[in-house]
Amino acid sequence: MWAPYFGNTGRRTRLFKTTAVSEVFEKIPKERHLSLCPCKSKKAYRDCCLPFHQNKALPKTAEALMRSRYSAFFFRLADYLVETTHPDSRGDSLQRELEDTIHHTDWKFLTIVSTSKGQEEDKRGKVEFIADYYWDGEVQQLHEHSRFRRHQGNWKYYDDKG
Ligand SMILES: [Zn+2]
């Protein structure tokens, strides 16, 4: 009975709102911590994006933030995606847009094409990537030039106009 998850029902909304970053441990079985990270870093999830998703560490580079956001899309951690979007770009509807789309998408592969700045000493950075995914079962590809900026010292996703 998965259909109600995709309809505009109170049930789906309620389920979505339980996806808090603090509940990552409950949402993701511990076995996954040892498996390879969805961001294709070839590291274990535990040693890659998990500490960011748990708010125990902060990405030091724009690319690391980009990868952690891809993994957050993969695991449908909407709160993390809102939190890591720059406040100037967040918009009132971001949470709702994520609610409307995040459960339709299955992320399959991430390729980092290039990066520009976005290092520890930088305030801005760009990451070009290609992400393959299924939207309601249809293969799609997202080729984006993302821009990242620091906010209160931490890397945030700014926009896709890089
Ligand atoms: Zn990762």
C-alpha dihedral, 154 to 51 to 53 to 109, nearest 10°: 100
Q: What is the pLDDT of residue 45?
A: 95
Task: Give residue 22's pLDDT.
Answer: 58
pLDDT recorded at residue 4: 34
Residues 43-90: pLDDT tens digits?
999 999 999 999 999 999 999 999 999 999 999 999 999 999 999 999
Instruction: Answer whether 0.95 is exceeded by the pTM.
Output: no
Calculate how far, in angstroms, residue 8's C-alpha sits from the geometric centre of ligand 1: 31
Residue 69 Cα to ligand 1 middle (Å): 9
Separation between Cα atoms, residue 148 and residue 24, nearest integer Å: 25
Neighbours of ion ligand 1 (CB under 5 A): 37, 39, 41, 48-49, 67, 71
Ligand 1 center to 4 CA (angstroms) = 31
Quote the ligand 1 centre to 21 CA distance (angstroms).
Answer: 16
pLDDT at 61: 98
> pLDDT tens across 121-157, in order?
999 999 999 999 999 889 999 999 999 999 999 999 9
Rounded to an integer, what distance in angstroms lies between the CA atom of residue 136 and that of residue 26? 26
Q: Is the pLDDT of residue 5 over 90?
A: no
The full set of domains in the chain, from first to last, is 3-159 (3.10.450.50)
**Which one is predicted more confidently, 90 or 20?**
90
pLDDT at 7 over 60: no
Across the beta sheet with 138-151, the strand order is 105-117, 124-135, 138-151, 154-159
Tell me how far apart the 2 most distant CA atoms of the chain are, in Å: 50
88 C-alpha vs ligand 1 centroid, how far in Å? Answer: 26
Kind of pairing, strands 138-151 and 154-159? Answer: antiparallel
Question: How far apart are the CA of 48 and the centre of ligand 1, in A?
Answer: 4
Reported as a single tens digit per residue, the pLDDT across 21-56 is: 656 666 666 778 889 999 999 999 999 999 999 999
Tell me how far the alpha carbon of residue 68 lies from the centroid of ligand 1, in angstroms: 6
CA of 72 to the centre of ligand 1 (A): 9
